[in-house]
Amino acid sequence: MTPVAVGLCSCLSVEGTKKGFCEMSLSIAMLVNDRLLQPCVCREVGDELASLRQCAAQVDAPDGLDPAPSELDLGVGHYHEGEALLTRRPLTTGDPAREPHEDAFGALFCAGRSTCTLAHAMRRSARAFQPNEVQPFRFRDWLWVMSGDLEERPDFDHQSLAIPPYIRGNMRTWRPAEVAFHLFLAFLHRTATLETFHWDRMGTRRALSSAISILAARYVAAGSGASPSYSILTTNGEMLLGVGVGRQLFVRRLEGLADCRLCGAGRRPGSDAAGSVAHEHLKAILVADPAPAAPDEKVSLWRPLKPGRLLEIDAGLGIEEGPLTPHGPPDAPG
């Protein structure tokens, strides 16, 4: 199995739904300083993650339901010459004879050879594949994924949310993840940072915090009692933001690669350099939710980020962490 297919499909978190079946989701981002070495990073981290088949086998059907073949909704977003591109597809996991999942996600994840890749996988057992519901969501240069406990759907009134029409026209569903994304865009619009190429760090933090606050208020108003736990990863190709609300994100950093197994495997047997290829200049950062199922000796390489802490990664792979920008009750983003 392609290593990143192992990774992206292994550590999926359970999401309950009102429809009586179990959904699972995973968000992962990869940033590298050399897009040509992205497959090398995929290979390096692949052994740290459990297999898709193990994941599918370990998840029991909900009470009263028989186990059934399941599918993954797979989505990958990456950047090519500054343009955000998406690939979405279903993947059946219940037919061991055909095993169509063997290389599918790994091929998708690494096909773009991009310095910034954002992916999402959701396991489902009942509903048909709906491309418009598959994350990442996209608007211009922005990509967005959410994972976590998003089973309840508040009553989202598009008029009361005051999302500008040109942004609202991008929406295809009213699922919480998509609503939260467009609230975020609406706040960026309000601060005039959505239409410019200038990165307003404080304005973007405030927009994300405001979107989270409104989503929480909607859940409380719907009688849920509290906002669910979830994570957000979003990027415009130049900067990645991540935050866990009531849950953790996990960060893995690579500084150089002394022995690339992917490139080393391509050397001719018997040559002096066979099996040993170094990428000393390689730098990469991976951010995931939930925690990867890494072997014991590599668990410590995935550092947890405390819930409520904002993670910022810039184009130079510099990392900053801090609280979301404090502010008063959010105004309507119109």
The per-residue DSSP string of 141-182 comes to TEEEEEEE---------HHHHT--HHHHTT-----HHHHHHH
Which residues in the chain belong to E strands, given as ranges? 13-16, 22-32, 71-80, 83-92, 116-124, 137-139, 142-148, 230-235, 240-245, 249-257, 279-289, 302-305, 309-313, 319-323
Q: Mind listing the domains of the chain with CATH numbers?
A: 3-148+231-313 (3.60.20)
Query: Who contacts 333 (Cβ-Cβ below 8 Å, separation ≥6)?
Result: 161, 162, 163, 164, 183, 186, 187, 189, 190, 210
Rounded CA gap, 108 and 121, in Å?
Answer: 12
From first CA to last CA, the distance across the chain in angstroms is: 47
Rounded CA gap, 124 and 92, in Å?
Answer: 10
Helices (H) and strands (E) in the chain, counts: 9, 14
**DSSP-based three-state secondary structure for 327:** coil
Radius of gyration of the chain (CA): 20
Please report the pLDDT score of residue 7 as a whole number.
Answer: 37
Please report the pLDDT score of residue 313 as a whole number.
Answer: 94
85-113 confidence digits (pLDDT tens): 998 888 765 444 333 334 455 556 666 78
Q: Are 302 and 250 in contact (CB under 8 A)?
A: yes
Averaged pLDDT, groups of 10, the chain, 334 residues long: 38 38 70 90 71 40 49 85 87 47 54 85 73 89 88 62 85 85 92 71 88 83 72 93 92 90 65 69 91 73 90 92 64 50
| DSSP summary character for residue 107 | H
What does the buried/exposed string (b/e) look like for 152-177 if buried means 16 or more CB atoms within 10 Å of the residue's CB? bbbebeeeebbbeeebeeebeeebbb
Residue carrying structure tokens 């960026």: 188
Instruction: Write out the two tokens for 319.
Output: 């990392």
Residue carrying structure tokens 């009213």: 174
Please report the pLDDT score of residue 172 as a whole number.
Answer: 84
The pTM assigned to this predicted structure is 0.81
